[in-house]
Structure 1
Amino acid sequence: MNSVIPAPVARQPWAMLAPLILLVGFGAMVLFSAAGGHWQPFATSHLMRFGVFLAMASVMTLFGRDLVRFVAYPVYGVILLLLVAVETIGFVGGGSQRWLDLGFLHLQPSEFMKPAVVLVLAKFYGGLPPGMTGTWRALIPAAVLVALPMGLVLLQPDLGTALAIGFGGIVVMFLAGLPLRWFMLGGAAAVVVAPIAYFFGLHDYQQRRVTTFLDPESDPLGSGYHITQSKIAIGSGGLFGKGFNEGSQSHLNYLPEPHTDFVFATMAEEWGLLGGLAVILIYGLIMRWGLSVARQSPDRFSKLLASGMVATMFFYVAINLLMVMGLAPVVGIPLPFMSHGGSSMMTNMICIGTLMMVNRWNRQAPRSRLG
Structure 2
Amino acid sequence: MTESRFHPLGLLRAFLRPIDPQLMLILGALLGYAYFLMISASPDRLEAQTINTVVALAAMWVAATISSQRMLSLALPLYIVGVVLLVAVELFGEVSKGAQRWLHVGVTRIQPSELMKIAMPLMLAWYFQQREGQIGFRDFIVAGLLLVVPVGLILIQPDLGTSLLVTTAGFYVIFFAGLSWKLIVPVALVGIIGIGSIIAFGDTLCQPGVDWYGLREYQKHRVCTLLDPTQDPLGKGFHIIQSTIAIGSGGVLGKGWMAGTQTHLAFLPERHTDFIFAVLAEELGLAGAIVLLIIYVLLLARGFQISVNAPTLASKLLGGAITMIFFTYAFVNMGMVSGILPVVGVPLPFVSYGGTALVTLCLGVGILMSIQRSRLSSPK
Q: TM-score, normalised by structure 2?
A: 0.89
Separation in structure 2 between the aligned mates of residue 160 and residue 267 of structure 1, nearest angstrom: 22
Q: Is the 8 A contact 2:117 2:360 kept in 1?
A: yes
Write the letter of the residue equivalent to 1:121: L
| SS across alignment from 1:139 | helix
Name 2:113's counterpart in structure 1.
110
Q: 1:166-208: CA deviations, max 9, x gaps?
A: 1111111111012111112333454677779971221111101
Q: Is the 8 A contact 1:53 1:346 kept in 2?
A: yes
Which residue number corresponds to residue 235 of structure 1?
248
Q: Which residue of 2 aligns with 1:363?
A: 376
* Code of the aligned partner of 1:98: R
Partner of 1:122: 125
Give the aligned residue type for 1:20: L
- 1:23 aligned partner: 30
2:69 counterpart of 1:66: yes
Whether the 8 Å contact between 2:132 and 2:313 is mirrored in structure 1 is: no
1:41-56 aligned at under 5 Å gives the runs 42-56=45-59
**How far did 1:14 drift?**
1.9
Q: Deviations over 1:21-67 (max 9, x none)?
A: 121122122112112xx3x2x22222221122111211112212332
Shift of 1:311: 1.4
The percentage of counterpart residues that share the same residue type is 39
Question: What displacement does 1:104 show?
Answer: 2.8
Alignment match of 1:247 (pick from 255, 260, 263): 260
Equivalent of 1:269 in 266, 282, 292: 282
Name the SS of the counterpart of 1:282 in structure 2.
helix
8 Å Cα contact 2:19/2:61 also seen in 1: no
Q: Distance in 1 between matches of 2:348 and 2:360?
A: 12
AA in 2 matched with 1:68: M
Q: 1:301 to 1:10 in 2, by over 3 A?
A: closer
Name structure 2 gaps, 5 residues minimum. Answer: 1-8, 199-204
1:253-292, aligned counterparts within 5 Å?
253-292=266-305
**Is structure 2 residue 157 aligned with structure 1 residue 156?**
yes
Q: Is the 8 A contact 2:255 2:284 kept in 1?
A: yes
Instruction: In structure 2, give the amino acid aligned to 1:124.
Output: Y
1:103 CA displacement: 4.2
Q: Does 2:87 align with 1:100?
A: no
Displacement of 1:314 in angstroms is 1.3
Alignment match, 2:201:
none
Q: How many residues align?
A: 358
Within 5 Å, give how 1:296-335 maps onto structure 2.
296-335=309-348
Name structure 1 gaps, 5 residues minimum: none
1:222 paired with 2:235, answer yes
The answer as to whether partners of 1:118 and 1:305 remain within 8 angstroms in 2 is: yes
Equivalent AA in structure 2 for residue 80 of structure 1? V
Q: In 2, Cα distance between the equivalents of 1:92 and 1:249?
A: 32
How far, CA to CA, are the matches of 1:71 and 1:337 in structure 2?
26
1:118-157 CA distance string (max 9 Å, x none): 0001001111142333x2x121110011100110000000
Q: Residue 12 of structure 1 corresponds to which residue in structure 2?
A: 19
Q: TM-score, normalised by structure 1?
A: 0.91
Structure 1 runs of 4+ with >6 Å offset: 192-198
Q: Which amino acid aligns with 2:31?
A: V
* Closer/same/farther in 2, CA of residues 11 and 89 from structure 1, 3 Å limit: closer
278-287 or 98-107, which moves further after superposition? 98-107
